[in-house]
């Protein structure tokens, strides 16, 4: 089995595992951390192995890494500090 096949199987497996957890687990911190981790990890797999960013221009790589890091952090932030986020985004 080649490298691309292993990455594809890993991504498929993680997608199915995430969906199973969502259907059986309860909302809360565990689900939030799993979702944030899956977004970050699967995104990184696609960026590194499908887009071959490990062997590409550093600026392009950093933009993609930044995008892929901020989104999972926002998932955690919005769950744990929803009130603060609401206050910050309320117009009075």
Partner 1 sequence: MDTMNTPVTEPIYAQPSASVDDHSRVPGNSGIWVGIFCVLVEFFLLFIVYFVAKAHHPEAFETGPDKLVTLAGVIITLLLLTSGYCMVKAVESIRKDAATKAFRWVILAFILGCGYPLVKYFEIQWNMAHGVDTKAGIFYTVYYYLTLNHLVHVFWGLLGLGWVAVRTHRGIYTAKDYSGLEAAAVYWHTTDVIWLAIFPFFYILR
**Contact residue for partner 1 among 30, 52, 62, 80 (CB under 8 A):** 52
Packing angle of the helix pair 29-45, 3-24 (nearest 10 deg): 160
Nearest residue (CB) to partner 1, 23 versus 92: 23
51 interacts with partner 1 by CB under 8 A: yes
48 interacts with partner 1 by CB under 8 A: no
**Contact residue for partner 1 among 1, 24, 27, 92 (CB under 8 A):** 27
> How many CB atoms sit inside 10 A of residue 5's CB?
9
CB 42 within 8 Å of CB 11: yes
**Contact residue for partner 1 among 8, 33, 69, 76 (CB under 8 A):** 8
Half-sphere exposure of 66 (CA within 13 A, CB side): 6
């Amino acid at each position: 089995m080649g490298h691309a096949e292993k990455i594809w199987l890993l991504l498929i497996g993680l997608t199915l595992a995430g969906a199973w957890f969502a259907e059986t687990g309860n909302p809360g911190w565990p689900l939030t951390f799993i979702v944030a981790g899956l977004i970050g990890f699967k995104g990184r797999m696609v960026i590194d192995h499908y887009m071959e960013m490990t062997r590409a221009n550093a600026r392009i790589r950093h933009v993609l890494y930044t995008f892929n890091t901020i989104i999972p952090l926002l998932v955690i932030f919005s769950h744990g500090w929803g009130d603060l986020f609401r206050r910050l985004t309320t117009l009075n």
